[in-house]
Amino acid sequence: MVEVNQNLIRKNITGGRLQMVYRMLEEDLEIQTLLKMSNIMAVSRMRYNDHGPVHSRITSGTALEILRIIGKYRKPNMISDHGMEMEDAEIVVLLGAYLHDIGNSIHRIQHPQHGCYIADAPLNRILGKVYGRIEDRVKVKCEVLHCIYSSDDEIQCLSLEAGVVKVADGLDMAEGRARIPYDLGKRDIHALSALAIKRVEVSEGGSKPLKIRVYMENPAGIFQVQNVLMKKIATSGIGDLIELTALDMNGRVIMGGS
């Protein structure tokens, strides 16, 4: 069982081409500025929660963790459709997770669509240094753009990689990091539910491949689980592989479980 936090990205970047891609993402001035602009638009101007560099790292590390669990049970599409390797699926997931929110730099409304065209130039720049064959670059870029586009709750994911990114996005909710916006000065259900969630954990499951546990100090946190995470799982295409349980801080089950 591992906790969803910033440390997962360091755990799951293990070298090779994946390490190269992550380093380029972290050092690319255009990408980092887009993420900072995403926070200006989403957080400062619209009162949403973090959609910047920290969220990108948390989502990326979590997505890689999930991929390595679920990938034991179902082949990623980079393998089944393109005949490529697990590392290529990891690169798609890393890029999709890291860049999925950059469209917020334009506006929160339709940000997945904005993100697709904004990501084009950075992806060309990064993938050109990783893949020598044009065909491979195009395949990877299309799959990454699918991850970005289908990160929208209403869009059905059509690849395992996109589903992994979408679920990982919804898991960044502990200690007030939940995806539903709230004003810290208010005591409405958005604020109470977001602040109720204290820890999120993922692990290989028993009855289903992926076990997700959400710990909360009071049942108000169920609002975030139902209105964010479960909506993402519903259109992820991997919901049948997930066991979701909400618990109080003493480990008593509030919702779900087997």
Q: Confirm if 56 and 103 have CB atoms less than 8 A apart.
A: no
pTM of the model: 0.93
DSSP letter assigned to residue 164: H
> CA-to-CA distance for 55 and 204, rounded, in angstroms?
23
Q: Confirm if 194 and 170 have CB atoms less than 8 A apart.
A: no
Q: What is the pLDDT along the chain (258 residues), one digit of tens a residue?
A: 999 999 999 999 989 999 999 999 999 999 999 999 988 887 778 667 767 799 999 999 999 999 999 999 999 999 999 999 999 999 999 999 999 999 988 988 888 999 999 999 999 999 999 999 999 999 999 999 999 999 999 999 999 999 999 999 999 988 766 555 555 555 567 677 778 899 999 999 989 999 999 999 989 899 889 988 999 999 999 999 999 999 999 999 999 865
Q: Confirm if 241 and 210 have CB atoms less than 8 A apart.
A: yes
Residue ranges per domain, the chain? 2-155, 174-256
